[in-house]
Amino acid sequence: MADIQFRLNGVATSVDADPDRSLLDILRGPLRMTGAHFGCGAGECGACNVIIGDRAVAACDTPLWSVRDKDIITIEGLGSAARPHPLQRAFIAEQAMQCGYCIAGILVSAAALLMRNPAPDDAAIRAALDRNLCRCGAHNRIVRAIQRAAAEMAVP
C-alpha cells in the first residue's frame, strides 16, 4: 500500500491503495465516481477515458502509481447540469447518442482534443475518437456535436 496524491477535477486527492491497481478501479471503487465506465479492461474501447494533463487515456489501463502528482479530469469534472461544458450542451442539442454508455469516455476524449486543437476538422475529430468505440452507430451525430461545441467555444 502507498499513499498516492494527485489532483482530481481540481481537488487535491490522496489515495491509500496498492499502486498497481487501475485508476478506473480507484475512481469507481474507493472514490465512488461512476462516470467513467468499464467496457473492456484492456484500453481498447475508451468507455473509461479520463484526461491526464491534456491527453485522454484509458483509466482501466492506467496504474495508480503513474498518476502521482498528475492533474486528472473525469467526466464529473467536465461540467454539470447547472454549469455544462459546451460539449455537454452540444451533445444534448445534437441528441448525440443512442444508449449512451460510451458517451462519458467520448466527451472526455473530445474535451482533450479541444484543449489541444480548438478548431478541429472532421478528420481530426474522427482521428481523436478512433480509440473510442460506439456500438449503436451514433458516430456522425457525435462528430457534429463536437463541431458545434468547438464553434461555440470559438465565439469570444
Nearer residue to another protein within complex by CB, 36 or 156: 36
Amino acid at 102: C
CB of 6 to another protein, least distance (A): 18
CB of 138 to another protein, least distance (A): 6
- DSSP classification of residue 37: -
- Cα–Cα distance for residue pair 97/49, rounded to 1 Å: 17
Quote the strand ranges of 18-90, DSSP E: 49-52, 55-58, 71-73
Residues that bind another protein in the complex, under the rule CB under 8 A: 21, 25, 28-29, 32, 34-35, 37-42, 44-45, 47, 75-76, 79-81, 84, 88, 91-92, 95, 97-104, 107, 123, 125-127, 129-143
Which three cell numbers mark 41? 479492461
Nearer residue to another protein within complex by CB, 83 or 156: 83
- Rounded-to-10 torsion of CA 77, 23, 46, 98: -50
Picking from 150, 37, 22, 19, the residue whose alpha carbon sits closest to that of residue 99 is 37
CB of 104 to another protein, least distance (A): 5
Nearer residue to another protein within complex by CB, 78 or 156: 78
Nearer residue to another protein within complex by CB, 28 or 52: 28
